[in-house]
Structures are given as C-alpha cells and as structure tokens.
Amino acid sequence: MAHLFMLGEIALTHGVNKLVNGDHSLLHPFLMKHVSGQWGDLPEEDKQANDDALKNGGRLMSAYHLPQGKIWIVTEADRSSSTILLPSEY
C-alpha cells in the first residue's frame, strides 16, 4: 500500500487502549488503511472531503470496525499527529 501522507506522532486514547486490551498491534492494519486512503466506514461526502484534504490540506478522518468495536483515526491538517479514538471520545 502506498502511503499518501505522514501520520506524524501517533496517540491513542485510554478507551482505545482498553478496547484492544493493550495489544496495539491490532491497530496497525487500520493505520495502514488510513495512510493509504482507504477511509473505511464513512459516508461518501466524508470520503470526498478526505480526498480533497489530501490535495488542499485539511484534517483526515477514517472509521473502522474492529471485532471489539468501532474506532476513528484522525490526522491533523499539518500531519504532525494522528489520534486513534472511540467515537464516544470525540
């Protein structure tokens, strides 16, 4: 998978850490999808907004379903950091 942008510093919330029971390796496939532009379970207009943000700058967001629950990945507009969080933590 080609990387379309840099993730920057990766952080995860307490809720995500608890969701994966501390096994952060479970998150790697979803980070790889995010960085390659596979935005996951988002409405088409949000996917288009991400595609536009790749060209023009802007925040990027993906949503994925793990067996344990749903996560979001948000990369800041300046690509300095990406946060993995639960929707309830937004």
Unique residue bearing structure tokens 């988002």? 42
Question: What is the mean predicted confidence (pLDDT) over 6-10?
Answer: 97
**Six token digits for residue 8:** 């920057």
Residue 1 has pLDDT above 80, yes or no: no
Between the two ends of the chain, the Cα-to-Cα distance in Å is 28
Give pTM, 2 decimals.
Answer: 0.95
Residue 13 near residue 89, CB atoms below 8 Å: yes
Question: What is the mean predicted confidence (pLDDT) over 1-16?
Answer: 94
- pLDDT for 2: 87
- pLDDT for 90: 85
Domain segments of the chain: what residues? 9-89
- pLDDT for 7: 97
Give every CB contact of residue 69 below 8 A, 6+ residues apart in sequence.
19, 86
Tell me the pLDDT tens digit for each residue of 18-37: 999 999 999 999 999 999 99
